[in-house]
Amino acid sequence: MFRKNKSVVGLDLGSHVVKAVEITMEGTEPVLTAFARAEVAPGGDRSAAIAQVFEQGAFKSRNVVTSVAGQSVVVRYISMVEMSDSELSQAIRFESDKYLPFDADEVAIDCQRLTRPPQASEGSDEQMSVVLAACRNTVVEEKVEEVTSQGLTPVAVDVDVFALANAWELCDTASQETDEDGETEERTIALVDIGSSRTSINVVCDGETCFSREIGIGGSDMTQAIARRMGLEILEAETIKHQPEGRDAEVSRAISPVLEDLVSEISLSLDFVENRESLRVEEVLLSGGGVLAPGVVPFIEQATGRPARPWNPIQSLRVGSHVDSEVISEFAPTLAVAVGLASRVRTA
């Protein structure tokens, strides 16, 4: 009855910007109670940016969830013989050798049973769908060290693509639409987060992930294209990417080759999951700093042939009185991963 409110900080350790969002459970309601961001100095490490974030943010909690991404992370959607959750946790390490490019001893492995039926497979045994995630131990240990060296307590280390789905589940009421009979409608959407160095995709069907992928193209590639095309230094190009000040058309032309490569990979991903799962991706929801560049959203919508729109991951969250609503609204499209990490407060 007198239990204190729980708070967790989602710490998104980007290559260029560190972002932190604190979510506090006030009864059963998640409330955004703190936010801060800091840029990583060129040529510097992230430790100074992390320290700056926690100096400025007035966070209640020192408990954080961070995440991993990149080539050291592998996610696979597989079929296995039906078994209990306890049996699955024991069996997955023996099964993982079939799906991972690493030795099982080199990685941290986790898995989750999915409710969607598996792909048609041979054999008479009843099958179940499982999502398998693995990351090199050294990468996980580096993340933990980054956190603990700042006097913070790591609650969990997540994966960027899963954080996107968790943010969607926490914040977007559209996933709970119902039909005329009051039944929840199955809806398939693609969450696409265009970060600095990579783009993360998570396709969510009926509230559950069914496909995820990372693409090695991001906002930095757009910045470099602008710098080359317009004869600017990188810092100038980064500024004009977000604040074109009347040069929108010129910026759009500069980043078009990057967007063509990116959208080609996004389209291949969506076509693949639609064919494999026999579904239709109804909408593409875009987040990350890359979507703030002029012309990105309509380009993706036209090239993929699917409705696309920017996604505000805090739109359904109540924002606490100590958070500057104007500042967080400005950066909201870039906070999907941080919000998804902080959503772990519900199970902390």
Residue 3 has pLDDT above 60, yes or no: no
Closest CA to 199 of 85, 70, 23: 70
CA-based diameter of the chain, in Å?
Answer: 64
Looking at 85-99, 129-143, 255-269, 297-311, which range is the least confident one?
Answer: 85-99
Residue 183 has pLDDT above 60, yes or no: no
Residue 1 has pLDDT above 70, yes or no: no
Looking at 180-194, 274-288, 323-337, which range is the least confident one?
Answer: 180-194
Give me the residue label for tokens 């799962």.
277
* pLDDT for the residue numbered 121: 53
* pLDDT for the residue numbered 186: 67
* pLDDT for the residue numbered 175: 42
pTM beyond cutoff 0.85: yes
State mean pLDDT over 163-190.
71
* pLDDT for the residue numbered 116: 86
Name all domains of the chain by residue range, CATH numbers in brackets: 6-70+139-173+311-346 (3.30.420.40), 73-135 (3.30.1490.300), 174-310 (3.30.420.40)
Give residue-wise pLDDT tens across range 89-126: 889 988 888 888 888 889 999 999 999 888 655 444 68
pLDDT band (50, 70, 90) for residue 185 = low
State mean pLDDT over 263-283.
95
